[in-house]
Amino acid sequence: MADIFDKAKRRKIMQAIRGKDTRPEWLVRKCLHRHGFRYRLHDRRLPGRPDLVLRKYNTVILVQGCFWHGHEPCRIGRLPKSNRTWWEEKINRNRARDQRNLFLLEKLGWNIWTIYECELRTATDRAQTLGRLLCYLHGRQKVEYTLASETAERYEVVEEELIFYTSNPKG
């Protein structure tokens, strides 16, 4: 199917897509702040300018858009049908850059936690993902996470259910 916009209009639309302060990033930031974690945003001194840097925990958190970072398991990460070769090259370049930055961050001794936007879409997914993150940051102790203003449901994340990696196991 052909694009409904001409090239100039499509270019303007694509340029308007934000790289910082996205909704998924805000959800993670609000959760961390609510639980007493303080962080630095987009630290230019680190490779790839990670979204959140928690120096005290020697951890960086990357909040990735599924489409732009080629998250294969989810439907949001699918490539458009038009101009497919260009998009494949673009997403592959993004992935290569991500891998290079992850390698450099690991080499510098940082723990890396990657969260994809699809892991924050529903209230249940959000509670599980953020609960795992909080458990990791709290040093693997039991954490109770309540979704503020979304639902009155409470979720418990228990240490035994988790397998810890240097990066998010779902990513």
Distance CA 20, CA 48 (A): 13
Q: What is the pLDDT of residues 40-58, one digit of tens each?
A: 999 999 999 999 999 999 9
Distance CA 4, CA 131 (A): 41
- Residue 7 is which amino acid? K
Domain spans in the chain, listed from the N-terminal domain onward: 19-161
Q: What is the pLDDT of residues 56-114, one digit of tens each?
A: 999 999 999 888 888 887 887 788 788 889 889 999 999 999 999 999 999 999 999 99
pTM of the model: 0.73
Decide if pLDDT at 164 tops 70: no
Distances (CA, A) of 143 to 24, 88, 135, 155, 171: 21, 40, 6, 9, 22
Distance CA 70, CA 18 (A): 17
DSSP 17-40: S-SSS-HHHHHHHHHHHHTT---E
pLDDT at 105: 96
Contact 117, 64 (CB under 8 A): yes
Helix (H) or strand (E) holding 164: none
pLDDT at 6: 80
Please state which of the four CATH numbers 3.40.630.30, 3.40.50.300, 1.10.260.40, 3.40.960.10 is assigned to the domain occupying 19-161.
3.40.960.10
